Amino acid sequence: MSMRFLRGNAQSPKGHAIVFARSTRDSNAVLSTYCIVLPVPMSLAKFIPPMFASQFPTEGLGGMGNETKQMPLPPILEDSKTLAQLKNLAEHRDDDLCEIGTVSPDDPMALLQMAAMSCEEYGGLYDRYAATFEQDTPSLDAPLDELDADELLLQAMSDRQKLAELGKFVGMARYAIEGHDSSLLQDTQRKMQHIAGMLPEKYRGEQLITAATDSNERGAKLASLYLERAYKLLDEQYSEIPNIERAIRELQEQG
């Protein structure tokens, strides 16, 4: 089947289209249906009571017993408005408008099959276009099922708990330095930077990390002071902060 877009683009279909064929009896008469590509697959059979299921032909809607993403509504090409009216309707609704050839209005099976086949073709065009979405769209937030338990736990932590985690990693960083374990040190530094990125800048997380990963003893003392300063700030014990900052400056000047 050859589908021609009178409105829209075959390379980037909208996912909803007015599909029409010209009558073999009268070239000015058109028969149409509306093709919808669903954002999620759906099995229509799930919504039909078992006692009525045998009364519905499967070919009419592209296989009601199977999951489908596209369907023509109605499932058969119907006598329609004029082509000019369809164009106007598609314009106002922002639908694609697709011509699919000619059909005899006196052949119900042809009307049924043409509606199903054209919608299947349109769905295929949309699927090819949709496959480019993941390539073009940058990944922002990972879905919950892709987040590991540690990440979820960190996001739920209070600032106090995050500072406690930083304190734990300060000890791990010093252990890695003393043991000359560069791999452990790099991994610990990465984890500390991740936690620090979740904290307000006022806690000076980056300075704490720089001090904690400094190989000399002065680094360990500075890291301890930065951590103490962060807790005092968190507890709003502002009067004690000047003394801590003075001690930090004195250690930095020694370097």
Question: Quick one: pLDDT at residue 51?
Answer: 60
- Amino acid letter, 229: R
Q: What pLDDT shows up at residue 135?
A: 63
Which pLDDT tens digit goes with each residue over 144-168? Answer: 444 567 777 888 889 999 999 999 9
φ, ψ (nearest 5 deg) of residue 71: -155, 145
Return the closest-CA partner of residue 101 out of 84, 81, 121, 85. Answer: 121
State residue 60's pLDDT score: 43
Per-residue pLDDT band at 118 (split at 50, 70, 90): very high
Question: In the prediction, which pLDDT does 184 show?
Answer: 93
230-252, pLDDT tens digit by residue?
999 999 999 999 999 999 999 88
pLDDT of residue 253: 86
| Mean model confidence pLDDT for the chain | 85
The 10s digit of each residue's pLDDT in 2-34 is 899 999 999 999 999 999 999 999 988 999 999
Give the long-range contacts of residues 82-86, CB within 8 A, separation 24 or more. Answer: 82/28, 82/30, 83/20, 83/28, 83/30, 86/18, 86/20, 86/30, 86/32
The pLDDT score that the predictor gives to residue 143 is 52
- For 156-199, the pLDDT digits (tens) are 889 999 999 999 999 999 999 999 999 999 999 999 999 999 99
Task: Say if residue 211's pLDDT is above 50.
Answer: yes
For the beta carbon of residue 106, count every other beta carbon within 10 angstroms.
Answer: 10
